[in-house]
Amino acid sequence: MVEYKNTTFLWGVHSLAQINRTFPLILIVLCLLALFGCTDQNQNAPTEGQNLPFVTPSPETGPSDVAVIPETQPTVHYHAYDATVIPPGCVENGYTLYRCACGEEHTGNEVTAYGHKWSGWTVVSAPTEEKSGSRQRHCTVCLTTESESLDPLSHQHTYRLQITEPTCIEDGYTNYFCSCGSSYVSDHTKQLGHDWSQWETVTEPTCQNEGLRQRKCARCREEESEVLEKLQPPDISGKLTVLSFAEVVHRNETVSLTISGTPGVEYDIDVYYSSGESKAKGLENQIADTQGVVTWTWKIGGKTAFGTYQVVISGGGESQTVYFTVA
């Protein structure tokens, strides 16, 4: 199929041929010229998407000379959205999703996330002084869990007591020991001092030898000894003389008094307390030995009042008075 680009020119050739049929050669030449100005329809065919020209027939062109192709109009699409509501969560915002059947979609109406609604803390492992502990809580909506470390406990001293009681010669005190190694000493108490018994004569002194007496501590059993001086030699003149006697004595203590007088003479001893003359055993009259020595031994009562008391020794027409103190 041949399309003529210059339709006016062809119409002129046709008119001349009608007018003068006598010019066939001219008509042939003109037809050849018109033929060289034609193209193949397929060469100039519109491509896909290109609109073909729409030509309206007119008296000048004629209805049979040009092909008429109608113009194609595009179809218009209008979106129709379906709305889907996505509710908010603890950490994610909510929104509305709008989606069209054509595939186009968008979101809107955003709602802020609620945030977690936490339960109370529950201790999973209790802390100690040596290690950390942990605790946990959960969201009552989404059940998300959250853990938290608990610091180790600060050390609280727990002391073990070791009490050292005071003794007669050493102070008492208390040692405090903690398992962590801490320790200190406190609560000091003064030493008690010895609780001495009364003196007991172990060996009586003589004119030739010293004597010995001892006492013991009732608490620690410590012993203390004391030397008794030698007795004075007897007065050959027979004069009454006190050879030994303790000036200070104690309750429940045994006391000794020794005199030198005339051999074979009987001597009397009287001890006077605040309550009167003592009747204690050992205060009987005695006869001086061949050297004129006499010794009396008696015990101070446990209820004897403290104070100073008199002792009178007499015999052979002589007498001596001495004093002692009960302390």
> Exposed, middle or buried by CB within 10 Å (0-12, 13-18, 19+), for 292?
buried
Q: pLDDT category, 259, cuts 50, 70, 90?
A: very high
Better pLDDT: 50 or 107:
107
Distance of CA 221 to the CA centre of its chain: 50
Q: Are 170 and 220 in contact (CB under 8 A)?
A: no
Q: pLDDT category, 235, cuts 50, 70, 90?
A: low
| Residue at 117: amino acid letter | K
Q: In angstroms, rounded to a whole number, what is the distance separating the alpha carbons of residues 200 and 297? A: 11
Q: pLDDT category, 109, cuts 50, 70, 90?
A: confident
DSSP-derived secondary structure for 96-152: EEEEETTS-EEEEEEE------B---EEEE---SSS-EEEEEEBTTT--EEEEEEPP
Q: Region 104-130: what's the mean pLDDT? A: 90
Domains of the chain with CATH codes: 2-40 (no CATH), 81-111 (no CATH), 159-189 (no CATH), 234-326 (2.60.40.1930)
Q: Which tokens in the block code for residue 78?
A: 């209008």
Q: What is the pLDDT of residue 145?
A: 92
C-alpha distance from residue 327 to each of 210, 249, 307 (Å): 26, 6, 7
Q: Are 244 and 238 in contact (CB under 8 A)?
A: no
Q: Region 223-230: what's the mean pLDDT? A: 91
Q: What is the pLDDT of residue 187?
A: 92
Closest CA to 316 of 258, 266, 241, 259: 266
Calculate the average pLDDT of the chain: 82
pLDDT in tens, 41-83: 444 444 444 444 444 455 555 555 555 555 666 788 888 889 9
Compute how many other C-beta atoms are within 10 angstroms of the C-beta atom of residue 75. 4
Cβ neighbours for 252, distance < 8 A, ≥ 6 positions apart? 198, 299, 300, 301, 302
pLDDT in tens, 145-189: 999 999 988 888 889 999 999 999 999 999 999 988 899 999 999
- The model's pTM: 0.34
